[in-house]
């Protein structure tokens, strides 16, 4: 790609950017939130049209008008926001828009089922492809998107943050798939905010900043700090544990849940959260962490068990009940239940606090603007104006707006499900500092994260979960990413032995 420029109303998303990917190479595209990564690949894959520049693919100039045209050229894409149809079956999603036909223009379902099974099995994902996609976790859905890309027989596969909703084991599966692609001389463009992944999988890296090219680098000649310095344009020292020791002696218990059972996901779990504590929940996907958070938020009614808030037994029937008591919940799935895509940044931020700033049903514009401006600045949400439609923001900036929605409510407890998913390193440091600040003010945080390093840096206590039960609890200096990983891996190993027996 040469001399690529792209402007949106009020924003220069790309300014004269050059980008080259070699055959059979894994190329990481890096940069802060809003740097222009997604825009660049959307131009490559026909979603957006460039204002200037040219695209040369296999020695020939191309200018795909839409995704289908890019597909015909052999470019296949997995977008940051999954483009799948949840109520359709897995196999229908794999072949969405290019169903194989039998004679007489009838869709060949047998063939679709057979080939979907084949690709997914090959990836190590053994699921019933005739089930609706919505019956599976986000991670499995992600894998289906990848399977879809693979069946296109692409020469170039573009992945925009494919790992943000995967846990460590699933990332390994994905990397296995990428290595297989490379063996077949397929090229891969890989966008991620997880730096260690770049060093594990990529050969070269291109860094963008504010829509401009910073440079192209050989990954072997980089280290994490150098890479981050290129991304943020200044020296960067590693993310550090910035929390103080929590004093459990006279800590007040804020939330206590006892013997919670819910569906198949929660199997008799109990935890307590102290006022001003950052409590982490670790575990693999499907271990019940999110479900536990939802029970505390009144979003999921337990079949059995009790929830106490400051010693008083609660019967949350709906989330409003919990919100009234000062509990907030930042969801992990910003697309499905998080943002309202067609509303402005301002409306999205103040959504949950509207009752607080309204009188007789009329929203105080002055208060609304005050709050919004404060949090846009605080979280450095990159947007041309508070009135921008939120879906036009980059993925990471949408996530920040979502965090702002709950933080602006003066909550007493914030449940954060993967709070830094899709957020760049610089912003991550700021959000982590904010979490510590909240805790110091006596606001509790329940932090659900698949990133062990993030738990280590931020939590006073970590509860490790598996299959809806508490597996272990770590406190203070015991909280180390390797320890958590080991506990999870060991439990997993024990379980597979049980199954083998």
Ligand X SMILES: Nc1ncnc2c1ncn2[C@@H]1O[C@H](COP(=O)(O)OP(=O)(O)OP(=O)(O)O)[C@@H](O)[C@H]1O
Nearer to Mg ion, 80 or 254 (CB): 80
Instruction: Indicate which of Mg ion, ligand X, none lies near residue 371 (CB less than 5 to 8 Å, by partner kind).
Output: none
Contact residue for ligand X among 35, 219, 300, 425 (CB under 6 A): 35
Q: Is residue 382 within the footprint of ligand X (CB under 6 A)?
A: yes
Contact residues for Mg ion (CB under 5 A)?
38, 80, 394-395
Q: Is residue 402 within the footprint of ligand X (CB under 6 A)?
A: no
Burial of 380: CB neighbours in 10 Å, binned 0-12, 13-18, 19+? middle
Nearer to ligand X, 31 or 302 (CB): 31
Nearer to Mg ion, 112 or 213 (CB): 213
In contact, 156 and 75? CB cutoff 8 Å: yes
In contact, 262 and 302? CB cutoff 8 Å: yes
Minimum distance of ligand X from residue 154's CB (angstroms): 21
For the CA atoms of 436, 440, 445, 449, the dihedral, rounded to the nearest 10 degrees, stands at: 20
Which H/E stretch holds residue 57?
strand 52-57
Nearer to ligand X, 39 or 206 (CB): 39
Minimum distance of ligand X from residue 436's CB (angstroms): 23
Q: What's the length of the chain?
A: 501
**C-alpha span between 211 and 17 (Å, rounded):** 8
How many Cα atoms within 13 Å fall on the side-chain side of residue 350?
24
Instruction: Indicate which of ligand X, Mg ion, none lies near residue 393 (CB less than 5 to 8 Å, by partner kind).
Output: ligand X
Contact residue for ligand X among 33, 163, 449, 450 (CB under 6 A): 33
Instruction: Indicate which of Mg ion, ligand X, none lies near residue 187 (CB less than 5 to 8 Å, by partner kind).
Output: none
**C-alpha span between 163 and 272 (Å, rounded):** 31
Minimum distance of Mg ion from residue 160's CB (angstroms): 6
Instruction: Cite the DSSP H helix spans in 298-440.
Output: 319-324, 345-350, 365-378, 395-407, 425-440
Phi, psi (degrees; rounded to nearest 5) at 114: -60, -50
In contact, 379 and 404? CB cutoff 8 Å: yes
Minimum distance of ligand X from residue 256's CB (angstroms): 37
In contact, 90 and 101? CB cutoff 8 Å: no
Minimum distance of ligand X from residue 359's CB (angstroms): 34
Which H/E stretch holds residue 492?
helix 481-500
Instruction: Cite the DSSP H helix spans in 168-288.
Output: 168-183, 195-201, 224-232
Binding-site size for ligand X (CB under 6 A) equals 19
**C-alpha span between 38 and 48 (Å, rounded):** 10
∠ CA 275-277-282, nearest 5°, is: 130
Can you read off the two tokens belonging to residue 90? Answer: 């897995």
Strand partners, 4: 17
Minimum distance of ligand X from residue 186's CB (angstroms): 23
Contact residue for ligand X among 141, 206, 348, 392 (CB under 6 A): 392
Contact residue for ligand X among 19, 34, 409, 468 (CB under 6 A): 34
Contact residue for ligand X among 393, 401, 407, 439 (CB under 6 A): 393
Nearer to ligand X, 89 or 392 (CB): 392
Strand partners, 389: 344
Site residues for ligand X, window 269-298 (CB under 6 A)? none
Site residues for ligand X, window 444-463 (CB under 6 A)? none
**C-alpha span between 187 and 1 (Å, rounded):** 15
Minimum distance of ligand X from residue 239's CB (angstroms): 17
Nearer to Mg ion, 424 or 460 (CB): 424
Q: Which residue has its beta carbon closest to Mg ion?
A: 38
Q: Is residue 76 within the footprint of ligand X (CB under 6 A)?
A: no
Nearer to ligand X, 33 or 89 (CB): 33
Number of neighbouring beta carbons within 10 Å of residue 220: 9
Can you read off the two tokens belonging to residue 24? Answer: 């059979």
SS (H, E, C) 291-304: HHHHHHCCCCCCCE
Q: Is residue 44 within the footprint of ligand X (CB under 6 A)?
A: no
∠ CA 31-32-37, nearest 5°, is: 50
Q: Are strands 204-209 and 26-30 parallel, antiparallel or unpaired?
A: parallel
Q: Is residue 395 within the footprint of ligand X (CB under 6 A)?
A: yes
Instruction: Indicate which of Mg ion, ligand X, none lies near residue 35 (CB less than 5 to 8 Å, by partner kind).
Output: ligand X
Instruction: Indicate which of Mg ion, ligand X, none lies near residue 46 (CB less than 5 to 8 Å, by partner kind).
Output: none
Minimum distance of Mg ion from residue 43's CB (angstroms): 13
Minimum distance of ligand X from residue 133's CB (angstroms): 23
Q: Is residue 344 within the footprint of ligand X (CB under 6 A)?
A: no
Instruction: Indicate which of ligand X, Mg ion, none lies near residue 298 (CB less than 5 to 8 Å, by partner kind).
Output: none
Region from 55-63, 104-112, 299-307, 389-397 binding ligand X, contact rule CB under 6 A: 389-397
**C-alpha span between 134 and 269 (Å, rounded):** 26
Q: Is residue 428 within the footprint of ligand X (CB under 6 A)?
A: no
Number of neighbouring beta carbons within 10 Å of residue 122: 13
Q: Which residue has its beta carbon closest to ligand X?
A: 396
Minimum distance of ligand X from residue 210's CB (angstroms): 9
Contact residue for ligand X among 31, 64, 276, 302 (CB under 6 A): 31
What binding mask, one character per residue, do residues 7-26 give for ligand X by CB under 6 A, x or -? -x--x-x-------------
**Tokens 């009614």 — which residue?**
301
In the complex, which residues of this chain contact ligand X (CB under 6 A)?
A: 8, 11, 13, 31, 33-39, 80, 382, 392-397
């Amino acid at each position: 790609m040469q001399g690529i420029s792209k402007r949106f109303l009020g924003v220069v998303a790309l300014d004269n950017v050059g980008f080259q990917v070699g055959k059979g190479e894994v190329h990481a595209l890096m940069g802060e939130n809003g740097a222009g990564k997604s825009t660049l690949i959307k131009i490559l894959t026909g979603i957006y049209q460039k204002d200037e520049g040219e695209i040369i693919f296999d020695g020939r100039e191309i200018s795909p008008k839409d995704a289908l045209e890019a597909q015909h050229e052999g470019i296949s894409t997995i977008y940051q926001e999954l483009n799948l149809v949840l109520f359709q079956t897995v196999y229908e999603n794999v072949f969405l828009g290019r169903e194989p036909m039998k004679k007489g223009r009838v869709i060949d379902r047998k063939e679709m089922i057979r080939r979907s099974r084949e690709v997914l099995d090959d990836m190590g994902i053994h699921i019933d492809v005739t089930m609706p996609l919505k019956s599976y976790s986000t991670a499995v859905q992600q894998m289906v998107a990848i399977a879809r890309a693979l069946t296109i027989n692409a020469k170039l596969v573009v992945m925009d943050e494919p790992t943000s909703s995967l846990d460590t084991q699933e990332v390994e599966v994905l990397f296995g798939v990428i290595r297989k692609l490379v063996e077949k001389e397929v090229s891969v463009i890989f966008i991620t905010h997880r730096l260690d992944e770049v060093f594990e999988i990529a050969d070269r890296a291109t860094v963008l900043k504010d829509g401009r090219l910073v440079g192209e680098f050989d990954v072997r000649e980089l280290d994490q700090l150098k890479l981050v310095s290129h991304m943020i344009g200044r020296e960067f020292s590693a993310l550090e544990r910035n929390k103080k020791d929590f004093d459990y002696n006279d800590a007040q218990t804020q939330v206590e849940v006892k013997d919670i059972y819910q569906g198949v996901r929660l199997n008799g779990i109990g935890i307590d959260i102290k006022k001003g504590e950052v409590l982490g929940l670790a575990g693999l996907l499907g271990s019940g962490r999110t479900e536990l958070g939802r029970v505390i938020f009144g979003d999921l009614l337990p079949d059995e068990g009790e929830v106490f808030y400051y010693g008083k037994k609660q019967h949350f029937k709906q989330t409003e009940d919990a919100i009234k008591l000062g509990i907030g919940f930042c969801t992990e799935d910003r697309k499905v239940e998080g943002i309202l895509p067609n509303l402005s940044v301002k409306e999205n931020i103040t959504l949950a606090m509207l009752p607080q700033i309204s009188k007789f049903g009329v929203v105080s514009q002055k208060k609304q603007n005050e709050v919004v401006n404060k949090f846009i600045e605080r979280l450095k949400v990159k947007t041309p104006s508070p009135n921008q439609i939120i879906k036009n923001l980059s993925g990471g900036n949408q996530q920040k707006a979502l965090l702002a929605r709950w933080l602006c409510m003066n909550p007493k407890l914030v449940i954060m499900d993967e709070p830094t998913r899709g957020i760049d390193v610089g912003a991550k440091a700021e959000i982590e500092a904010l979490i510590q600040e909240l805790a110091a003010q006596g606001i509790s945080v329940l932090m659900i994260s698949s990133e062990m390093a993030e738990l280590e840096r931020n939590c006073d206590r970590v509860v490790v979960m598996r299959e809806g039960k508490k597996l272990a609890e770590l406190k203070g200096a015991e909280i180390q990413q390797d320890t958590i990983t080991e506990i999870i891996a060991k439990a997993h190993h024990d379980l597979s032995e049980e199954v083998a027996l």
